[in-house]
């Protein structure tokens, strides 16, 4: 009889030790403790060039703004804006030419006729892409 009592006590102890923690509303069990269900415990996986701000991912850089005179914005399925050049400004418009960096070379400009010094340009050029 005493063996049964010891065995029954042993089974009851094992049974209670295998149960999970019962947490209240708005909480969840993590590692045996009840914690708020909306608590961030590891960094969220935000997309490229975004960072976690509060409970959402936000862009690290300011939004893309295209020059309306020379580009058209094109937004892809991921919400990334790409500025597509329209060639606005015609052939005589100044061309943006960044300064070269160490070990690189930048070549920009307009083609000129060596004999007359005139810029090569079609008389009806609009700068519209071919």
Q: What is the pLDDT of residue 78?
A: 78
Half-sphere exposure of 54 (CA within 13 A, CB side): 3
What contacts 122, CB < 8 A, 6 or more positions away? 91
Q: Which of the four pLDDT bands, split at 50, 70 and 90, describes residue 10? A: low
Q: Is the pTM of this model over 0.75?
A: no
Look at residue 32 in the predicted model and tell me its pLDDT. 82
**Cα–Cα distance list, 81 to 84, 111, 121 (Å):** 9, 32, 32
Q: What pLDDT score does 5 carry?
A: 60
Percent of the chain with pLDDT over 90: 0
Whether the per-residue pLDDT at 19 is higher than 80: the answer is: no
pLDDT at 112: 80
Convert the pLDDT of each residue in 63-109 to its tens digit. 888 888 778 899 888 778 898 887 656 666 666 677 788 888 877 77
For residues 21 and 29, what is the distance between their CA atoms, to the nearest angstrom?
A: 6
CA dist 62 and 81 (Å) reads 12
Taking phi first (over 0 means left), then psi (-120 to 50 degrees means alpha), and beta for anything else, what does residue 95 get? beta
**Tokens matching residue 75:** 């937004």
pLDDT reported for residue 84: 85
| pLDDT the model gives residue 40 | 59
Q: In whole angstroms, what separates CA 66 from the centre of its chain?
A: 18
Q: Are 101 and 62 in contact (CB under 8 A)?
A: no
| pLDDT mean across residues, the chain | 75
């Amino acid at each position: 009889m005493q063996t049964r009592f010891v065995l029954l006590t042993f089974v009851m102890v094992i049974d209670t030790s295998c149960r999970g923690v019962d947490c209240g509303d708005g909480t969840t069990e993590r590692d045996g403790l009840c914690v708020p269900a909306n608590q961030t415990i590891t960094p969220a996986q935000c997309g490229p060039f975004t960072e976690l701000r509060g409970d959402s991912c936000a862009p690290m850089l300011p939004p893309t703004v295209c020059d309306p005179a020379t580009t058209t914005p094109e937004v892809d399925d991921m919400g990334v804006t790409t500025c597509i050049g329209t060639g606005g400004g015609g052939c005589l418009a100044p061309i943006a030419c960044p300064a070269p960096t160490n070990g690189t070379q930048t070549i920009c400009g307009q083609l000129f006729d060596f004999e007359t010094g005139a810029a090569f340009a079609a008389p009806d050029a609009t700068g519209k892409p071919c």
